[in-house]
Every structure is written in C-alpha cells, then in structure tokens.
Chains A and B, each alone.
Chain A
C-alpha cells in the first residue's frame, strides 16, 4: 500500500502540467514521468509548479511569435502573387505567357461588386455547394462502412476489391458521358460524378485505417467483452478515424475537381458553369471571379473538414508525432 501512496504524491505535479493546453517539451516531460520510479523523487509540489508556469509563459510567448512569423510569411506570398497579377496586367506582359486579355484586379473587383452580389452568382454558388454536399455525404455513407467491412473481413475484401481496382483508375471526368446516359436528369448525373470523385479516396483510406489498427487493441476489446458489432462501433471506427479524415480531405479535393469539370461540360448552373459561360461570352473578369470563387469554396470545405477532425479527435494532439 505504501508504494501506491507514494506514487500518488509524486505524480501530483503532473496534474498541473497537463491542465495546460500547450504541449510540454519532451525532455521536461520524461524527467517528471520517471519520477515515480526513482526513490529520491518526492519534493515539494510548489517548486516544480512555479518553474513550470514560467516554462509555459515562455512557451506561449514563443508560440505567438511563431504565429506572427507564419502570418507575415503568408502575407508575403499572397501579396507577391497579387503583385505579379497586378504588374502583369498593368504592363500587359508578353513573355511567352500573355497577359493581353487577362483582366486587372480592379476589373475583377468591379465584377464582384456588380455581378458578385447578384442573385445569379449566389444561386450558382448555392447549387454547386448542394451538389458537393450531396455527392460527398453519399460517398461517406457508402465508402466508410464498406471500407470498414473490407478492412476487417478477408472475404468481403476478396469480393469487392477486384471491382474497386478496375473502376478506380477511371477518372471521375471520364464518367461524364456515361453518367449523362445513366441518370434521368442532369442534376443527378453531376452529383454522381462528384460522388465518384470523393468515393475512392474515402474508401481506400478507410481500408488502410482498419489495416493499420494495432491488433492488440482488438484483442483487448474482445477480452473486455466487446461483441462483433461493438468492436466495429467502439474500436475499429474510432481507431481508423484519423485515416478516414485523411480520406475525407483528399476526397473533398477530388470532389471539387470532378464537380467543376462536370459543370463545365454538362452543366446548367453552378460555379463551373458560371466560369465556362463567362469564357463563352468573352467576359474575362467573370472568368477570374469564378476561379477565385472556386478557390475560396475549396479552401472553406477543407478547412471545415480539418476543424471537424480536430474536434472529433482531440487525442491526436498528444499522439507521438502529433501537433505537426
């Protein structure tokens, strides 16, 4: 019993440590970790706590400075891009690439204020977003359970993987003509193409997630009385979640590529259609506005996925190699 009590006392300073949201430097951490083992360890709680707060203040200061530098560098690269565009259009640069017809930033800004807030533009955005969400969520609803089953059961894998391997190399854009033939209306066929784009990255990453799951965790769960269904719900799903989210991020990117291509080829409405229509009507500023819109929508979507991932998987912040 004595050893239990002493272990409790020695580990106390760590409680303060981990209450802090910031990561601790590895060296400090291990030395405290080893404390229960060494006989000379017990020391007054206040001393390490004091020095630790100091360490954290320093760390905090360091991180804010890091952030300022990061933000500054981001500004530099974005302004450089903008400046290149501005100078290129101002002096009508002709050096193999031609800026002759490229609209100036000002023209695009004008386009945004005039067309940008019009109903037509906003409806196009709304329609594209709806298509993405539909295709993406159908891909999740089919891809994740199927990936879990393929990853877990050899027989399911034997049954489904040949089909997956045959269909996977076909790019979503190549599905456009087939999709128009298959589906009763234009909307369904575009959603289908978006789905195809998102589906394979989600499926394959989910399978990979199940395979990379440590077998000892499944054995532990079964010893603790987990049924097959519980094993899926409480071990295999959360265990492969990090890989599933990698799949979602990649899938979202491919879904946008597929959607824009599909809208350009067969669409009515949508941001891709808006951009292609502008080209047909020789409305150059609208082309650039369409491109920037697509960029922002893609950025927002991957940002949301990353945010949801951080919220759903708080433990990753402490995983070895985490907090990249």
Chain B
C-alpha cells in the first residue's frame, strides 16, 4: 500500500458530508445522508451495503452523473462537476458500443481525446493483450460472453489513463465461476496500473478479496456504518479465501450487513412475511428480534 502511494501520487477521492435527496415534498427520498469517505492514491476501496442503500448513487456522484444535494466530492482537490476521462467507469450492465468492434471500443476514449489512429491502435492492442482478448479485436461485442465483455469494459476504462477507476457492481451479472476468475484478473490489472479503485458491490467475499479497505453502508438513508481494513497480504490468491483471517472478516461483515438488510426490509415484512413463518415481529420490524 505505502509503495503504491509513493509511486502514484494522483487519484485521491475525497467525499465530505455528502447528502442526496431525490424528489420533493411528499415524494422526498433521502438516498444518502452525511457520508464522508476517501480513497487514497493507489488504494482499492469497496463500498458495500444492502440494496437501495445509495451506494450506486455515491458512485454516480463521483463519476459526475448526479449532483449531490449537500456536501461535495473532490478528485485530487478539484471539485467534481461533470463526467470526464480522468475517472474511468465500469458499469454493471455491459456498456460496450455494439456498433464498434472490440478494438474500436477500447480506442473510444483515446479518439475522444484526439489521439491519432496509429497510437490509438497500439494502446488498444496492448490493453486487449493484457485482458487476454487480442484475438477478438475485430469481433463485435455481441459475439462475446459476459465475462469477456466486462474485461473489455475494464480495459476500455483504463485506455485514457484515468487517475481512478469507479466500478459499479461490475461482476454482478456474471455467474459465480466467471466472477471468481474476473476478480483475480482485476487484482492483477489493478496492481499493474497502480490506480485508485472505488468498487461497489453487495458481495461480501468479493469485497474482502479485492480491497484494502471496505466501507459498510446502512440501509436507506445510506450512511457509513463501519470502515474495515483488510490486512490480507498482496498479491491475493484464490486460496486465501479459505484462511481463518478471511473467514473472520466474512463473519464480521456478514453480521454488519445482515442488520442492515433486515432494517431495509422491515417495512415490507413487518406485518406479514415473517409472522407467517412463526416469527415474532416487534414494533420496529423484525430487526429487533434478531
């Protein structure tokens, strides 16, 4: 970690007192409330929480798609106001342009930056080689599997040499086996590029395996419930998931998330749901009896 900081000085994400409110009056929804977090240069940070906790909203703010109601987000001391190529984004849905070949997709950011064709080509091919997909450079995205598409999505986001990589549940749509391989590939790429990563997920093992640090969010309105350091050594290997350290972290996070998931679901299942299964439901929902 300290080495990475020394080598990559840029890529500091700083979010302060962030609040996001959608709608107005009766339809008002507080999505995120007074969230502060940071990602140090070269650090891999995950944001984990129950669905609907506003973790994707936070990422959208850092990406520049959404403006916060209060607070601010900064990248290397500069306030984030709009999307830009200094922040690479990988989406959960495959976001490759179906009308461009795989190589042209990777070249897209460089083309927008006005880089000439020859240099674009060289960079894109090098990145595709890194992703193990050079032989598919002239294929169209629709010819590829989900895992391949997402690998291309990652190297496309890296093509413009961004300072940070923002990833919104990038492996959420993949099957379990593919996902495990993708996680290893991502750690490899991350270590080569020494880039800061903000990674959104609801998968506990995934967040531990990948991260230096994990923020756990509460149910809506989303706040930071806990900040957990992952002391596992690098490089991470798939076998590490069987170690006691890893298991302990999983248990700790499971406990934290479970409370929040129950709290998030409480309004829906307060009266029916669990009472139908012979469970007692307290005045504040089921969260209370666990």
**A223–B83 touching, CB < 8 Å:** yes
- Given A220-B91, A230-B112, A318-B143, A3-B98 contact (CB < 8 Å): no
Q: How far is the CB of A233 from chain B (nearest CB, A)?
A: 11
**A36–B93 touching, CB < 8 Å:** no
Interface size class of B (residues with CB under 8 A): 35 or more
- In the complex the two chains form, what is the Cα distance from A202 to B177 in whole Å? 46
B102-130 near A? 1/0 per residue, CB < 8 Å: 00000011011100000000000000001
In the bound complex, residues from chain B placing their C-beta under 8 Å from that of A318 are 140, 142-143
Show the binding face of A for B, using Cβ within 8 Å.
1, 3-5, 7-8, 11-12, 14-15, 18, 30, 33-34, 36-38, 214, 216-217, 219-227, 230, 234-235, 238-239, 241, 313-315, 318-320, 322
B67-92 near A? 1/0 per residue, CB < 8 Å: 00000000000000011110111010
Across the interface, B185 reaches (CB within 8 A) one of A7, A34, A314, namely: A7
**B93–A216 touching, CB < 8 Å:** yes
**B139–A18 touching, CB < 8 Å:** yes
Across the interface, B142 reaches (CB within 8 A) one of A219, A238, A315, namely: A315
In the bound complex, residues from chain A placing their C-beta under 8 Å from that of B145 are 30, 33-34, 36
- In the complex the two chains form, what is the Cα distance from A18 to B144 in whole Å? 10
**A15–B136 touching, CB < 8 Å:** yes
- Given A18-B136, A18-B143, A217-B95, A224-B181 contact (CB < 8 Å): no
**B185–A4 touching, CB < 8 Å:** yes
Q: Does B9 contact A (CB under 8 A)?
A: no
Across the interface, A219 reaches (CB within 8 A) one of B89, B113, B135, B140, namely: B89
- When C-beta atoms are compared, the residue in chain A nearest to B60 turns out to be A219
- Given A223-B84, A223-B88, A225-B109, A36-B181 contact (CB < 8 Å): yes
- In the complex the two chains form, what is the Cα distance from A298 to B100 in whole Å? 32
- In the complex the two chains form, what is the Cα distance from A320 to B160 in whole Å? 30
- In the complex the two chains form, what is the Cα distance from A36 to B157 in whole Å? 22
Show the binding face of B for A, using Cβ within 8 Å.
63-65, 82-85, 87-89, 91, 93, 95, 97-100, 108-109, 111-113, 130-133, 135-136, 139-145, 147-148, 156-157, 160, 175, 177-178, 181, 184-185, 188
- When C-beta atoms are compared, the residue in chain B nearest to A238 turns out to be B99
**A12–B112 touching, CB < 8 Å:** no
- In the complex the two chains form, what is the Cα distance from A322 to B141 in whole Å? 14
**Can you sample 26 A-B contacts with CB below 8 Å?**
A3-B188, A7-B132, A7-B185, A11-B133, A11-B135, A18-B143, A33-B144, A33-B148, A36-B181, A37-B177, A37-B181, A216-B91, A219-B89, A220-B95, A220-B97, A221-B108, A222-B64, A223-B83, A223-B85, A223-B87, A224-B156, A227-B112, A230-B112, A238-B100, A315-B99, A318-B140
Across the interface, A224 reaches (CB within 8 A) one of B93, B108, B132, namely: B108
- When C-beta atoms are compared, the residue in chain A nearest to B191 turns out to be A1
- Given A4-B185, A223-B63, A223-B157, A11-B108 contact (CB < 8 Å): no
- In the complex the two chains form, what is the Cα distance from A224 to B184 in whole Å? 25
In the bound complex, residues from chain A placing their C-beta under 8 Å from that of B113 are 225
Across the interface, A234 reaches (CB within 8 A) one of B108, B185, B188, namely: B108
**A219–B178 touching, CB < 8 Å:** no
In the bound complex, residues from chain B placing their C-beta under 8 Å from that of A222 are 64-65, 82-83
- In the complex the two chains form, what is the Cα distance from A3 to B209 in whole Å? 15
Across the interface, A225 reaches (CB within 8 A) one of B84, B93, B97, B98, namely: B84
- In the complex the two chains form, what is the Cα distance from A113 to B266 in whole Å? 84
**A224–B85 touching, CB < 8 Å:** yes
- When C-beta atoms are compared, the residue in chain B nearest to A33 turns out to be B145
Q: Among A7, A30, A224, A235, which residue has the most Cβ atoms of chain B within 10 A? A: A224
- When C-beta atoms are compared, the residue in chain A nearest to B133 turns out to be A11
In the bound complex, residues from chain A placing their C-beta under 8 Å from that of B132 are 4-5, 7-8, 11
**A224–B147 touching, CB < 8 Å:** no
Q: How far is the CB of A141 from chain B (nearest CB, A)?
A: 22
- In the complex the two chains form, what is the Cα distance from A7 to B98 in whole Å? 23
Q: Among A12, A216, A314, which residue has the most Cβ atoms of chain B within 10 A? A: A216
- When C-beta atoms are compared, the residue in chain B nearest to A223 turns out to be B89
- In the complex the two chains form, what is the Cα distance from A221 to B112 in whole Å? 9
Q: How far is the CB of B86 from chain A (nearest CB, A)?
A: 9
Across the interface, B65 reaches (CB within 8 A) one of A4, A219, A227, A238, namely: A219
Q: How far is the CB of A286 from chain B (nearest CB, A)?
A: 47
- When C-beta atoms are compared, the residue in chain B nearest to A8 turns out to be B132
**B135–A15 touching, CB < 8 Å:** yes
In the bound complex, residues from chain A placing their C-beta under 8 Å from that of B135 are 11-12, 14-15
**B98–A224 touching, CB < 8 Å:** no
Across the interface, B97 reaches (CB within 8 A) one of A38, A223, A238, A319, namely: A238
